[in-house]
Amino acid sequence: MLKRFELGNVARTGIERTQEIPGRIEVDEKRITRIGASVTGRVVEVSVDVGYRVKAGEVLARISSTELTQAQLNFLRSNAAFSLAERALERAQQLYKADVISAAELQRRESEQSIARAELRAASDQLSLIGFDQSLQRRLRESGQLDPTVGIIATRAGVVVERKVSQGQVAQPGDALFTVADLTTVWAVGALPEQAAGSVQMGQLVDVQVPALGEKRFRGRIVFVSDTIQPETRTITVRTEVDNASRELKPQMLSTMRLFGEREERLAIPDSAVVRDGDRDHVFLHRQDGSFKLIPVELGISINGKRPIIRGLTEGQAIVMRGAFHLNNERKRAELE
């Protein structure tokens, strides 16, 4: 039987000190964009919902607005006035060269053309402010056809995490109708007891584990340590930035941040020596007569494949280091026979 298992003696090994911080996954606030209407109007179409992934420039909703219609009319009038002023200036330049009109008349035409250009630029800027970009203005100039609707445009790529608009609703400038977040990077936010405040620092590497994702760990870096203490809980807020290119981490998931400190020599055993039975950790003690005894132990969390011993084992005791799981299965089968 011994050939199927690996035995070893409990010994001291280098273990990093750890500090666990419970918390949750949150959206990186630097990667949040709140998007609203740039003009007063009624929402006539909503194209996305919470959870949709959108690209920068994508239309999220459309608004019908009399303000937009008026701005387009002003643009067309200003464009026509500028074209007329340009032609008048060209004629005046020709007449001046032919000595038909005076220099004062030419200057008047130049002034009129400059004013018309400024008014056209102002009308164009007004359209741009309400979401009517240069390509739409060019189309309006060429066709002369008014478009009573304007799109609410995603200004960044990401996921729609909030929608506060419905079809038929009247939207006002300044209303945050959509919230789009880039979730390729997220935060793990937790509360650290004040007694452990000295164990964290900016830039420190952290392992983040989410119970919903099993044993998988994500590497992060501390980007914020609060300078103040929450008086109700006597804790400080710690924020870790975590890469989330896989999109596995979702906002509001429960998480645990694990901080690693200095190494210290501690009694420890490999994960493979531990079996879980009756909601407790156990190991198989190898007795002098060659038999095995399942004994309960109290262990710390796994650190790089090793579990620190809190109580239940002493240095030098022989235990099953590898194969404990299979030995436990044989024990259970023997009990059933």
Per-position pLDDT tens, the chain of length 337: 445 778 999 999 887 777 788 999 999 999 999 999 888 899 999 999 999 999 999 999 999 988 889 999 999 999 999 999 999 999 999 998 988 889 999 999 999 999 999 999 999 998 888 878 888 899 999 898 888 888 899 999 999 999 999 999 999 988 899 999 999 999 999 998 888 787 788 999 899 999 999 888 999 999 999 999 989 989 999 999 999 999 999 999 999 998 876 777 889 999 999 998 888 999 999 998 888 999 999 988 777 788 889 999 999 999 999 988 888 888 878 776 6
CB neighbourhood size of 276 (10 A): 10
Is 257 in the same domain as 212?
Answer: yes
Cβ–Cβ < 8 Å for 260, 207? yes
Which of 98, 91, 35, 34 shows the shortest CA–CA distance to 63? 35
User: Does pTM top 0.75 for this prediction?
Assistant: no
Is 195 in the same domain as 294?
Answer: yes
Is 110 in the same domain as 227?
Answer: no
The CATH number for 197's domain is 2.40.30.170
DSSP 3-state of 92 = helix
Is 246 in the same domain as 332?
Answer: yes
* pLDDT at 200 (0 to 100): 85
Is 46 in the same domain as 119?
Answer: no
Domain count of the fold of the chain: 3
What is the spatial distance between Cα 184 and Cα 243, in angstroms, rounded to a whole number? 6
Is 164 in the same domain as 280?
Answer: no
Is 52 in the same domain as 111?
Answer: no
Range of the domain at 123: 66-146
Is 199 in the same domain as 227?
Answer: yes
Cβ–Cβ < 8 Å for 303, 207? no
CB neighbourhood size of 58 (10 A): 16
Is 239 in the same domain as 112?
Answer: no
182 φ, ψ to 5°?
A: -85, 110
Is 123 in the same domain as 239?
Answer: no
In sequence order, the 6+-apart residues with CB closer than 8 A to the CB of 298 are: 281, 309, 310, 311, 312
Single-letter code of the amino acid located at 107: Q
Is 230 in the same domain as 297?
Answer: yes
Is 319 in the same domain as 191?
Answer: yes
The CATH number for 78's domain is 1.10.287
**Residue that terminates a domain, selected from 146, 164, 193:** 146
